[in-house]
Chains A and B, each alone.
Chain A
Amino acid sequence: AQSVTQLDSQVPVFEEAPVELRCNYSSSVSVYLFWYVQYPNQGLQLLLKYLSGSTLVKGINGFEAEFNKSQTSFHLRKPSVHISDTAEYFCAVEGTSYGKLTFGQGTILTVHP
């Protein structure tokens, strides 16, 4: 079984500042890792994913994440945030069960002007 812990439930930040949203996972098998974003009153949208290869993954909207196997982490970063990045962000893992995503509790990112 897999589990995901998002270490911050809320992250407030000012516009144009950098941000890091933290995610740790637990699994006894190899996993695939994902970050999804949920804007208010919308479904989830994939930001980026790590399947294999380079541990630094670039996604949409200027986000990137780094897979660290030894620390079982997959933190999401953006060097300069915009007001439009205000949303809830979910880290997810997928193990051996086809397509079954296990989500973290989510981190609400609020970008202030």
Chain B
Amino acid sequence: DSGVTQTPKHLITATGQRVTLRCSPRSGDLSVYWYQQSLDQGLQFLIQYYNGEERAKGNILERFSAQQFPDLHSELNLSSLELGDSALYFCASSASGTSGGEQYFGPGTRLTVT
């Protein structure tokens, strides 16, 4: 158990819909990262927040957005869903936002878009 929790574990929804994935980092960790894992794209970095502020951005679609709240939990919002958005979405946290730190991964949210 990494200490990072993600809800829900599974999500099935239809094309065009909007969903919200939630992540609670390990106690004391200030940095949260979101990754997408799919069969065709592999594991891809989406976005990083540090203490409530966006720190780095990867290949995140405009239909996707994220935020980190004052209590440090984070939410990833996916809208206008397409079949290709079906994937496993991981959240990770680390104590700081600096390079070289260990990232602790949650168990993931499996999103299926039908």
**Residues of A participating in the B interface, judged by any CB pair closer than 8 Å:** 32, 36, 41-46, 49, 51, 90, 94-106
Q: Does B25 contact A (CB under 8 A)?
A: no
Question: How many residues does chain B have at the interface if contact means C-beta atoms less than 8 Å apart?
Answer: 29
Cα distance A101–B94 in the bound complex, in angstroms: 12
User: In the assembled complex, which residues on chain A have CB atoms less than 8 Å from the CB atom of B33?
Assistant: 99, 101
Cα distance A76–B44 in the bound complex, in angstroms: 21
User: In the assembled complex, which residues on chain A have CB atoms less than 8 Å from the CB atom of B94?
Assistant: 99
Cross-interface CB contact of A98 among B4, B55, B92, cutoff 8 Å: B55
User: In the assembled complex, which residues on chain A have CB atoms less than 8 Å from the CB atom of B98?
Assistant: 98-99
Interface flags, B24-66, vs A, CB<8A=1, else 0: 0000000101010000001111001010000110100000000
Query: Interface majority SS on A: helix, strand, loop or mixed?
Result: loop
Least Cβ distance of B105 to chain A in Å? 4
Asked whether, in the complex, the Cβ of A94 is within 8 Å of the Cβ of B99, the reply is: yes
Asked whether, in the complex, the Cβ of B102 is within 8 Å of the Cβ of A98, the reply is: no
User: In the assembled complex, which residues on chain A have CB atoms less than 8 Å from the CB atom of B56?
Assistant: 97-100
**Residues of B participating in the A interface, judged by any CB pair closer than 8 Å:** 2, 4, 31, 33, 35, 42-45, 48, 50, 55-56, 58, 90, 92, 94, 97-108
Least Cβ distance of A2 to chain B in Å? 11
User: In the assembled complex, which residues on chain A have CB atoms less than 8 Å from the CB atom of B105?
Assistant: 36, 43-45
Residue of A with least CB distance to B102: A46
Cross-interface CB contact of A46 among B43, B48, B50, B103, cutoff 8 Å: B103
Asked whether, in the complex, the Cβ of B48 is within 8 Å of the Cβ of A98, the reply is: yes
Cα distance A94–B103 in the bound complex, in angstroms: 11
User: In the assembled complex, which residues on chain B have CB atoms less than 8 Å from the CB atom of A94?
Assistant: 99-100
Known contacts A42-B107, A96-B99; 6 additional CB pairs below 8 A are A43-B90, A45-B2, A99-B56, A99-B99, A100-B45, A103-B43
